[in-house]
Structures are given as structure tokens and as C-alpha cells.
Amino acid sequence: MYVIETEDLTKRYNGLVAVDGLSLKVGEGEIFGLLGPNGAGKTTTLLMLTTLVQPTSGTARVSGFDVVREPDRVRGSIGIVFQEFSTDEMLTGYENLKLHGWLYDMPKQLREERIKEALSLVELTGRKDDLVKKYSGGMRRRLEIARGVIHHPKVLFLDEPTIGLDPQSRDRVWKFIKDLAVKEGITVIITTHYMEEADRLCDRLAIIDHGKIVVLDSPEKLKRDLGGDIVRLKAERPDVGALKALGFVRNVGECGGELCLTVEDANEHLQEILDVAGKVNSVEVHSPTLDDVFIHHTGRAIRDELNEEGSWQK
Amino acid sequence: MMQPKGIYALWYRESKVFARQRSRVISSIANPLLWFAFVGGGIGSVVSIEGINYQTFIYPGVLMQAVIFSSIFYGVYIVWDKRIDFLKEVIVSPMSRTSIFIGKVLGGSTETTIQTVILLLIAIALSAAGLMHGINLNPLTLLLTFIILSITTAGMASVGLILGSQMESPEGFELVISFVIFPLFFLSGALYPINNLPPWLAPLTLLDPATYAVDALRATLLGTSTFPMALDIAVITAFTALMITIGTQAFKKMKI
């Protein structure tokens, strides 16, 4: 039985297709990532799965309930951590969680028990009676993750959970998400544009571009499937055609003004590549990362499309 | 579908946040006092209406001032709620839109009720000290006053929430003040009797639901009125019921 099941899920805004015939299945206890650039349709997909936006066509079932016909039951079975903070900063951490328990109609004893557990999981027990406005960004994000799980949802949706956090906070948030999936058996759906985040967290991920799934698999498999090493070249007038003609070059893409080649056994063939490439200013060889996977499948780098704040429009 | 625990949660949040915003608490207490002391005291020094001292005459009007201003302002406040995104947390919970709306109306009514209770206590104190005359204050009139104010407050808070749910940014605030709050208040007869108005103005006052609330309050507290009490109560109850119905629909369609 799948926890998330969509078929041909589509959303159009005034003729613009935000999500285009998305079909995917996510199993229980999986951490599933939606990875893609600005406007790829990640957030719209999330909003449809959480019943906040109506699909134009297609179907989606979350924990067995149809998002259009049974939105209340879908909402009762999920937890969400939004991209923007949605705790009340004039309330304490504990009050925010208590309020959540009331909204989800939890019995008192269970509520208090779960709040205590969740607070200790996100290491906020000592700060629970402080107003949220005194929290740091990382603490607030952790509080919101705790809030998202106290009613024991089947699925937890995380929309860009570490955006705007410093590296330490990011590491801790990742650890909590991992712990949740393992200890609580919760299915986690996460949207992100951080490659490292997707790589570290996700059991499987779908790369989404222009509202469509470009490729879907585990991060390891996606990287392995590139079938070789990555050679990054900065050449003055590279002959792309000649490079592509080389038998051991599987793919040639552009990444931030440089050329990214997927090459079988790069150490063996490096000299031949340099001979064909013309005058080369710099060269770098490494094993594939998700960045390379993204470039391979979309022909461009995800970070090229990041705006300054690193935030995405919906 | 109504979810009492969730409605309580919303009310709890509104009153906690209100109590922690000291500037809001202070202004909501000071505001009606200023109207009463300065407008009532100032104009009252030169005017009396139907043999009633002006300060006494506008006392029901000052109660209505507190209701209209603070309830509607409160409702429009959800524009900020949308910004700080707490509303999202509520919208994605299993709470029905009806429950959410009712919870918000109750939250707004609390703030207004605090103001009106303070005004009533002042009237009791001033009457006891012999500084205010002609207000009938006894448990029955106080209870009736409280009921009239509660019904009207729920209706006015709904008006504010309907407006707030349609607004995308706080810029429309000025328009709400000019075209909703001021007309509702000034046309209600809060500051003057409505029996001798010029012909172009009289019909407008009849269209204002607050007119009937002021009339009911005056009947209760001063023993003078324009319409029968039953009509007054019927109009404000119908108005509030209608606003709650429209508000629930508006919340169902609200975009966040």
C-alpha cells in the first residue's frame, strides 16, 4: 500500500502549466525528495497534496484519502512544515505545540506525552517556556518540525526545511528528520533545491523540471547511472562537437560557463580530452554528485537559477 | 461541523496574544475613555438632548464606538495573520472553515468585551459617585446591555473578518476606515438622535445595523428609544447571522 499515490496530477494557472501530469508512488517510512529549480512545480505539488490548492486534473491520494473528495481526512493524517515560519511568535514554544494538539483534537494525556517527546527529540525542552520571538531561526524550524509530528501524522511534508539556516542548524535539522523517519516510521516528503540535502536525506528522489518528473530513483542509483566520472573544463574555444564524438564521452553539458563532461574512466582518457578541447584554463575530475545528475538530465546547473536569497517563487 | 476544542484553541491564541501586546491593551482601554471624557464632556458642556445631559446621552454611543472600531479592526487584522503565516497552520489542520471562523469571531469578541465591561464599570462608579445621572443600572439592564453588545460585536467582528479575508495587503486599511467604520459609526445615531434628521440623511441611518443596536442600548440604559425593542433585537440578530454566514463562505474561498 502506498502512502502517496498521484496519477497525472496537473495544475494550470491562467494557461501556465505549473505541474504537468505528475505520477508518483511513495511507500511507507520513505524519505522522498522533490528536487528542482525555481518554478519547477515542487511547491505547487506540495500544496495540492496538502489540499491547499485544487488540482486542475488528475488524482492524488494521501494516506489512502482523495485530496479533492476527502480533504478533511487528508488534513487529519498529515503534518506540514512550511517554507515560511508559521508558529506564533507571541506564544511560547510549548503553547504553540499545545494549540496544535487542540486543533487536532488530541486527548490531553496523549498530547502532553507527545509534546514532551517531541520537545526532547528536537532538543528544545529547556526553552519551551520562552516566547518564540526569542528563538533563533534554527530553533524555530526545529520547533515547527516537532509541531508537525505531535499528532502522529502518516506523512510529514517539509517545504525547503533548511532554507536560510546556518550549516550547524542545517545538520541538526537533517538529523531530526532522519530520526523521525526511522523512529516514528513516518513517511517524509521534502522539497529542496539543495543537492547536498537531497543526497544526505532522501531514500529516493524525483528531479522535477517544468512541472514534469525528469528522472526518479535513489541518489546512489542516479549518480551511478551516469556511468563514469565528471570532468569539468574551462576552455577558451572548446570544440563541443569533437568532444561529443569521442567514444568514451557520454555526455557534454554546460555548468556555470564551464563544460561538464561525463567520461568513462576519466584518468585513462584525460589527455585525449585535453587534446581535443583546445586551450584549457582549468580542469577538475571528480566522482558524480547530484549536481552532475541534474546537469546531465536538464542540460544546466540548478544553482545557475538560484536568486540571491536562495529562495524560490511558488 | 463544529470542533469545540479547536475553536477554544483559536480563542486562546487570540486572547494570549492580545494580553501580551501591551500597546493594544492600553489603547483599547484608553480609546473609549477619551471619547467619553472629551467628546461627551466637551459637547456636553453646551448641549443637552431631550432633557438628558449629552454625556449621558452618548454613553450608549460610546459603547457602540468601542464595538464597531475594535471588532472591525480586529477582523481586518487577519491580513497580518496571513503575513506571519500562523493562519496556514490553522488552515491545514482538520478544522472546518466554519469552526475557524467562529473561533476568530470569539477571539475578537474578547477584546471588545473587555472594553465594554470597563466602560460599564466606569458608568457604575460615576453614577454611584453622583457624577453621572439618568442611567438605569441594575442587574437586569446590565445583562440586557451585555447581550445586545455581544450580538452586535459578533456581527461587527464578522464584517472585519470578511473584509480582511478579501484583502491581500494592509494597504486597504484606510479604505475600510473611511467607507466602513466611519459610516457605520456616524450614521448609527451614536452621537445624535435620529428622529429629526434632514430627509437625505434619515434613510441612510435606517440602513445602518448599528442604529438598531444604539437604539436598543438607549432603550435599556436611558429609557428613550425610536423603535420597539423587539425590532431592534430582530435586526441586529439577523444582521449578525447574515454576516457569520457570509464570513464562513468567505473563509472557504480565502486564498492564503
pLDDT tens-digit readout, A173-182:
888 888 888 8
Q: What is the DSSP string of B49-118?
A: ETTEEHHHHTHHHHHHHHHHHHHHHHHHTHHHHHHHTHHHHHHTSS--HHHHHHHHHHHHHHHHHHHHHH
B236: distance to nearest CA of chain A, Å?
A: 31
Cell reading at B239? 444582521
Asked if the model's pLDDT at residue A298 lies above 90, the reply is no
pLDDT of residue B236: 97
Higher pLDDT, B163 or B43: B163
Asked if the model's pLDDT at residue B80 lies above 80, the reply is no
Q: What percent of chain B has pLDDT over 90?
A: 48
Q: Which helix (H) or strand (E) holds A123?
A: none
Please report, in angstroms and rounded to a whole number, the separation of the first and last CA atoms in chain A.
Answer: 30
Segment B17-42 mean pLDDT: 83
pLDDT of residue A310: 39
Whether A71 has its CB under 8 Å from any CB of chain B: the answer is no
Q: What percent of chain A has pLDDT over 70?
A: 96
Q: What percent of chain B has pLDDT over 70?
A: 97
Whether B96 has its CB under 8 Å from any CB of chain A: the answer is yes
Segment A4-28 mean pLDDT: 93
Segment B238-243 mean pLDDT: 97
| Least confident among A20-29, A226-235, A252-261 | A252-261
Q: Which of A250, A206, A203 is nearest to A231 (CA)?
A: A250
ipTM > 0.90, yes or no: no
Choose the mutation target among B23, B93, B102, B252 for the interface with A, i.e. most A CBs under 10 Å. B93
Q: CA–CA separation, B2 vs A305, rounded Å?
A: 46
Segment A86-95 mean pLDDT: 93
Whether B92 has its CB under 8 Å from any CB of chain A: the answer is yes
Q: Do B84 and A89 touch (CB under 8 A)?
A: yes
How many helical (H) and strand (E) elements, i.e. helices and strands, does chain B have?
Answer: 14, 2
pLDDT of residue A303: 59
Q: Do B93 and A103 touch (CB under 8 A)?
A: yes
Asked if the model's pLDDT at residue A70 lies above 60, the reply is yes
Q: CA–CA separation, B112 vs B120, rounded Å?
A: 12
Q: Which residue of B has its CA nearest to A76?
A: B94
pLDDT of residue A302: 66
Q: Do B17 and A100 touch (CB under 8 A)?
A: no
Asked if the model's pLDDT at residue A292 lies above 80, the reply is yes
Q: Which of B69, B68, B95, B72 is nearest to B13 (CA)?
A: B95
Whether A51 has its CB under 8 Å from any CB of chain B: the answer is yes
Cβ distance A138 to A166 under 8 Å?
Answer: yes
The whole-model pTM stands at 0.81
| Least confident among A302-306, B48-52, B176-180 | A302-306
Cβ distance B65 to B38 under 8 Å?
Answer: no
